[in-house]
Structure 1
Amino acid sequence: MTVTSTHKDVDALTLTFVAEFDAPVGRVWQVWEDPRRLERWWGPPTWPATFERHDFTVGGSSLYFMTGPNGEKAYGWWRITAIDAPHRLEFDDGFADENGEPVTTMESTHAVVTLEPAGTGTRMVTVSTFASAEQLEQLVKMGMEEGMRQSMGQIDALLAEGEA
């Protein structure tokens, strides 16, 4: 079923995605924990991700880039701030330069991912919190909302592949 709803709340400075999957919570958790699985869905189909580092521990960091249809690269980073496996993940998310250094001209966002049983499957709620209404609008204009919908839309096929 994948993304069932999105909600942009300018007053709360949040963008929320609710997705449902026909897999147990532990299996859905693996698409965040395992960098090889993560890179198969983090980024829309035309901008696939490559995770060069994914230290999935509190205080750990991730470094990735997405490659566009013409070979251009967009770099990003995460800093893991909380993990309650397999139900909750929090991380700061920002843009990076080609050396993996955080871009200081753009504020980072903070993401909170919660996974909970929903019938025989899992409901995943991802809430991104922004530093300002301007940042929220800027990232939506850059395609974040549609890009995340497309990205999360790839998780069902990944889960259908089995335990691998």
Structure 2
Amino acid sequence: MSLAETLDRQLDAMQRFVTLLREERQSLTQGEIDGPELERLAEAKSQVAAELETLDAQRRDVMRELGHGESRQSAERAATEAQRLDSWHQLRTIGEEARQLNRINGLLAMNRMEQNQRMLNFLKEAAGSTLYEPDGRSRRQGLNRISSRV
């Protein structure tokens, strides 16, 4: 496979990865989390990430075969020779966007997990404490004074 083909495929895969990250962010910001949807997105992201790793390794191999090193300058020179400098710059820009989206999604997921843990802790505490005295009166001070009589 040529460097031009590899860069084109890598750019396509990176764009698909960013699309999945955007969908994940959208799903994480919904009021109610759709677990199956997040699971589908995680599987799809994993597949595209594996594809990106393979394509990156292929790109590096092709660059070495063409006599280029692995530095950023070498990559730009090789992309220029393959008439894909724009694709290389897009790949780097979209890669940075993917990094940012992944970081944000991680923070959103962590925030959700912490919120869920606080809710679970509250429910455990509430379930572990009795709300009523043995004689049926409420343990809460404010509720003792409320009368249901008309």
Comparing both chains, which one has the higher relative contact order based on Cα–Cα distances under 8 Å and sequence gaps of 6 or more? Answer: 2
> One fold, TM greater than 0.5?
no
TM-score, length-scaled by structure 2: 0.31
Higher strand share: 1
Higher helix share: 2
Say which one has the larger Rg.
Answer: 2
